[in-house]
Amino acid sequence: MEKIELNREERIELTASDIAKILPHRYPFALVDRIIDMEPGQWAIGRKCVSMDEPFFQGHFPGNPIMPGVLIIEALAQTGAVAILSIPENKGKLALFGGIKNGKFKRQVVPGDVLELRCEMIKCMGPVGVAEAEALVDGKVAARAEVTFAVVDK
């Protein structure tokens, strides 16, 4: 994921409202709070502020809240979906999860953590693509995976 360069002079930043215009996900399943930079069609870096108010913490786990790994991967996929759906030919389309490969969870994500979500497209074959994705907390890897997606009409 070294290709992503955050020290660019002009960043593309999106708020939660901007993201909602691109993705159909809504509370409680909208898992990206902000895009802090992206290159449409290529990569995106998002942010998720993990709060104790998240509905999944009611059952995962009472007294020991840990963000489910599957939701970390979903947040990464949503970050990548913003990048791929931001190009003109994909406007108004839907990005569907197609698969996860080499998923690894390196540390627990708990309330108060801020997830930095990085997703970079590595292969596109028509409407199907593959991306490398990585979630970090305080610069340390929390999870990483290769995700496959398909862009379809709504």
The catalytic site residues sit at: 60
Cα four-point dihedral sign 59, 60, 64, 66:
negative
Given a contact cutoff of 8 angstroms between Cβ atoms, the answer to whether 79 and 118 are in contact is: yes
Q: Could you tell me which residues are beta bridge partners of residue 149?
A: 97, 129
Provide the token pair at 68: 């489910």
Q: Return the biggest CA–CA distance within the chain.
A: 46
Chain centre distance of CA 111 = 18
